[in-house]
Structure 1
Amino acid sequence: MSLSRRHAAASLAALPFVLAATGTAEARPRRLCTVYIAGDSTAATKAPSAAPETGWGMALPFFLGDDRFAVANHAVNGRSSKSFYDEGLLTPVLAAIRPGDLLLVQFGHNDEKTDDPARGTDPQTTYPEYLRRYVQGARDRGARPVLLTSVERRRFDAAGNALPTHGAYPDAVRLLARAEQVPLIDVQATSLALWQRLGPEATKDCFDWLDPGEWPNYPDGLQDNTHFQPHGAIEVARLVARGLKDARVLAPNEVRRLDDAIPDSWITW
């Protein structure tokens, strides 16, 4: 066989083939996998008027392995599992999602606001009941649901120990994931460990702690222990991507940069 024919044969062998209706084999690209996010402000895409506030969903694409993946971030500020569903925000997600796509579901921060009947849920009853609707909606459409516990807030005791803030809500997600046999990414546990490792001062660079005049959107400065600056959003997205790999939702070659430094400048609004 000539060199040119060997090169042609090798190129054809590298292509994915499917059998066409005519019985002949033809090359087709792998279908795009869309990663949908249903969640609250900790994940949501932010407007320029909110910069430098950053949701971890904005950074997740940095860690997905190739151009076969796209992220559709439907997370919305201020929503709980209940209000997101009741306001019909899950409807366009389920209308668009396709077999093989992923639905990442992370609520809890606003579910804890039990004095607000539009958002508050009970971790033993209504919280898992609402989350189950997301799981079933994805499964009914051949998509793969993934449950996430709530990312932790920045809270430390006087000795510098990072403290959990979400009460019974993370355990409710863990129990539901086991009962429904849904992959779980325990972001509450992994983020709490990360904040512990960084400590009270370094975590200020992850959260919206801003000096007066540092950002024009916040001329008086800001001390927000819930929402992230770019660095924090990137690190939480890294936890999510590593969780997708560890839970075997994605293969090792479908994630990337898990141990690489990601510049904050990659975040844009």
Structure 2
Amino acid sequence: MSLTRRQIGAAGVLAAATVAAGAGTATAAFAAGGGRHPGRTLFIAGDSTAAQKYADAAPETGWGMALPFFLGRGLTVANHAVNGRSSKSFLDEGRLDAILRVIAPGDLLLIQFGHNDSKSTDPTRYTEPWSTYQECLRHYVDGARAAGARPVCATSVERRRFDEAGRAVPTHGEYPAAMRELAAEQRVPLLDTQALSLELWDKLGAEPAKAYFNWTPEKQDNTHFNPLGAIEVARMAAGELLRTRVLAPRELRRLDDEIPASWITWPTAPAS
């Protein structure tokens, strides 16, 4: 059953408010304020690697669930990322519109797509890296800027894939390069989480890297994260927000601290 725009917006609000106590977000103020926290909001538009997960999916964890642990109290995450979406399908379903209705001047729109854009057998999701993918990304950039918010691009986090020599290999084709080009052309800050995650998996090695993914011998999920993986990818994103000067040092915290996996919680899924 398709969601109305009102339902889509409500789902994003619930995802933003549902974080562990250690994140330090003001959920009561969020509800009282009609869907906005005091201070600035960082909206996430993305796919399943970033999305809020619910109790029926635990221990699968989107990195957007862990990002609040690294942000100061004046910043709140509104996680609108949804499983299975590409830059195109997210647009076509009105999900960007739902964000643009509530985003405000000074807010941030973090854009991470690419995992599902490459599904060439699915016309509802497929985009071509150097044409339709970049065209879709421009809608996010232009929409954020028109609302007075700041767009931020993030390359897709790498899957766990290794070659016969035991080296981590990229899996996203030309999409990261296409996003890098678009970000440079549009003068949008770029969080290169694809390069950083590839470097981390390579450093860890094939077997140790499993500890960061929702991997079991039965499931063998090399794409989605468990709490440990989500926390480390969120740390990468937060570090990139600092490196690119999107956020100031005072707006971040715990970048070098160990974050307990117990801070991750999985709420009951909202009624459809």
Q: 30-39 or 107-116, which moves further after superposition?
A: 30-39
Q: Per-residue displacement from partner, 1:47-79 (whole Å, max 9, x unpaired)?
A: 1000000000000000002x1111000000000
Contact 2:87 2:137 in 1 (8 A): yes
Q: State how far apart, in whole Å, the 2-side matches of 1:232 and 1:93 are.
A: 27
Q: How far 1:210 sits from its partner (Å)? A: 2.4
Q: Computing the radius of gyration over CA atoms, which structure comes out larger, 1 or 2?
A: 1
- Aligned pairs for 1:20-35 within 5 A: 32-35=39-42
Match status 1:101 vs 2:98: no
Residue aligning to 1:205: 211
Q: State how far apart, in whole Å, the 2-side matches of 1:204 and 1:253 are.
A: 34
Pick the aligned partner of 1:235 from 223, 232, 240: 232
Whichever structure has more strand as a proportion of its residues is 1
Residue aligning to 1:222: 219
What TM-score does the superposition give when structure 1 sets the normalisation length?
0.84
Moved segments of 4+, more than 6 Å: none
Contact 2:153 2:179 in 1 (8 A): yes
Match status 1:121 vs 2:121: no
The count of aligned residue pairs is 230
Q: State how far apart, in whole Å, the 1-side matches of 2:216 and 2:56 are.
A: 15
Q: State how far apart, in whole Å, the 2-side matches of 1:142 and 1:75 are.
A: 21
Match status 1:45 vs 2:42: no
Task: Give the CA RMSD over aligned residues.
Answer: 1.1
Higher relative contact order (CA 8 A, sep 6+): 2
Pick the aligned partner of 1:255 from 244, 248, 252: 252
Contact 2:134 2:179 in 1 (8 A): yes
Structure 1 counterpart of 2:46, which letter?
Answer: G
Residue aligning to 1:214: none
Q: State how far apart, in whole Å, the 1-side matches of 2:120 and 2:146 are.
A: 30
Q: Per-residue displacement from partner, 1:65-96 (whole Å, max 9, x unpaired)?
A: 2x111100000000000000001011110000
Q: Percent identity?
A: 66
What TM-score does the superposition give when structure 2 sets the normalisation length?
0.83
Q: State how far apart, in whole Å, the 2-side matches of 1:103 and 1:162 are.
A: 30
Structure 2 counterpart of 1:176, which letter?
Answer: L
